[in-house]
Chains A and B, each alone.
Chain A
């Protein structure tokens, strides 16, 4: 909470704050807060594993059944341009985890012990929202694009403790980039009076429901790297304030 408060206070001191996008009678718009959730399947099994034949099950599918992880993300963006659409700079922090059963080393049967892959994704970047039509002509759809750098710390646990294999601890950090295309639906249109009250009482200018497609490409090296790249959808709520 304190980190968020300090970040907001620092950002508020930055030059270039523009509130021209605020409509008459509306409080100034400065930030966008996003809360989102969606399935995330890292492309780990897309690597060419030298120890596996063409019909052998890949590691992610073998342990986790190939089903996606559940990813939750919170993002905060600072609006730096509001004349023709909105350009913002911000950061998103996401977390995903997936648990499956470890396998018995001798028999290959599923053991009673759980093993899990945990991933944190930190995504600083820029976004552009074409909200001109929504703000001026009440057309409630706002398409947007984002470009982000991605830093992903990851770690694997087996039976509650960090797993080791071949003497190597199962933890690391991957870097990459991500592009996002999304569409927001401005909920204000459903009850404009309530939306105005939300602004006057809480300072929340607009509320959106959105869906976005993320193309995340992580930089890898080696013949069979741990590929955390993905193509995934996220859905959530956004607040301009």
Chain B
């Protein structure tokens, strides 16, 4: 195979890798200008707060002829705001005439139409509202050449703001494995769980210590480490969903970490004399010396 062919393969493979990366949104509302998802999941803690969101304009082949209108709705977007929708300040056409334009605006969560109409004095429509979806929509009159053709509406890909105040189910701890200075907890959780929080205390103590949140992957076991061997601990788990809602705590499980011996310990206990590190044998350096000799000869 020639070097040129080899380099072509390498360049093509790296180009392929790049094409599998980000997708450009022609016209959309996003949480950040480069965000790929059209969802923003918020929880009860977001009530009463405001969020900065962005419009992005990468529309090719058409001209924007007038200002962009932006609004929030509980229904489908359409071309223009409907009655009951919350409209935000329009964006001057001068700000999004070129591809790659972006800008931001602020939305107050409590002013979203689904919350505002139910109860304006209680954040997010009160404690009875557990889930609700809003869309942040935008549209602009466009034409191939403004003034020469009739305008048509170009609508943005909406940002879906999903309010979720429903906490996930409490985790169920199915088994506790005894490890060296650690306990392993096997558990099951509801499908909306995204993180797990372990809590631990020495048996007999009153207060639990909260450990760092652990992102939920495919594994359904968490290791609670930095414990003392021979001491019995109580442990429990709490689940968190994408909106930040925390579940009730699991039932308390208990276990006593035990000192274990791995392969290295078994080898040393048997009288193994290797202490790790680099081989101290002088012959061990021979590969490096041989490589040095080889490359020195090649460079002559």
A residues whose Cβ falls under 8 Å from a Cβ of B: 1, 5, 8-9, 12, 14, 27-28, 30-31, 44, 47, 49-52, 56, 58-60, 62-64, 89, 100, 102-106, 111-113, 115-117, 124, 149-151, 156-160, 163-166, 168-177, 202-204, 218-226, 241
21 contacts between A and B (CB under 8 A): A8-B6, A49-B271, A52-B271, A59-B266, A102-B260, A102-B262, A105-B259, A111-B258, A117-B263, A124-B291, A149-B286, A157-B262, A158-B263, A160-B223, A163-B264, A172-B279, A174-B284, A203-B1, A203-B2, A222-B273, A226-B274
A175 — which chain B residues lie within 8 A by C-beta?
A: 279, 281, 283-287
A159 — which chain B residues lie within 8 A by C-beta?
A: 179-180, 182, 223, 260, 262
Q: Which of A111, A116, A166, A168 contacts B178 (CB 8 A)?
A: A111
Quick check: is B209 within 8 A (CB to CB) of the other chain? Answer: no
- Scoring B residues 250 to 278 as 1 if CB is less than 8 Å from chain A, else 0, what string do you get? 00000000111111111111111111111
* Alpha-carbon distance between A225 and B274 when the two chains are bound, in angstroms: 5
CB of A166, distance to nearest CB on chain B (Å): 5
Task: Please name the residue on chain B nearest to A117 by beta carbon.
Answer: B263
B2 — which chain A residues lie within 8 A by C-beta?
A: 27-28, 203
* Given A174-B284, A203-B2: A59 and B270 interface contact (C-beta under 8 Å): yes
Cβ contact within 8 Å between A113 and B274? no
In the complex, besides A112-B184, A159-B180, 14 extra interface pairs with C-beta distance below 8 angstroms are: A1-B13, A5-B10, A27-B1, A104-B261, A115-B263, A116-B263, A156-B263, A158-B261, A168-B264, A172-B278, A172-B279, A173-B277, A173-B279, A224-B272
Cβ contact within 8 Å between B290 and A9? no
Q: Which of A27, A50, A112, A124 contacts B271 (CB 8 A)?
A: A50
Task: Please name the residue on chain A nearest to B266 by beta carbon.
Answer: A59
Cβ contact within 8 Å between B284 and A219? yes
Quick check: is B15 within 8 A (CB to CB) of the other chain? Answer: no
Interface residues on chain B, size class: 35 or more
Q: Which of A60, A150, A165 contacts B265 (CB 8 A)?
A: A165
Task: Please name the residue on chain A nearest to B275 by beta carbon.
Answer: A168
Q: Most chain-B CB neighbours within 10 Å: which of A30, A59, A149, A172?
A: A59
Quick check: is B7 within 8 A (CB to CB) of the other chain? Answer: yes
* Alpha-carbon distance between A30 and B271 when the two chains are bound, in angstroms: 49
Cβ contact within 8 Å between A204 and B268? no
CB of A150, distance to nearest CB on chain B (Å): 7
Quick check: is B5 within 8 A (CB to CB) of the other chain? Answer: yes
CB of A107, distance to nearest CB on chain B (Å): 8
Quick check: is B177 within 8 A (CB to CB) of the other chain? Answer: yes
The 5 closest A-B pairs by CB, nearest first: A203-B1, A158-B262, A149-B287, A115-B262, A51-B271
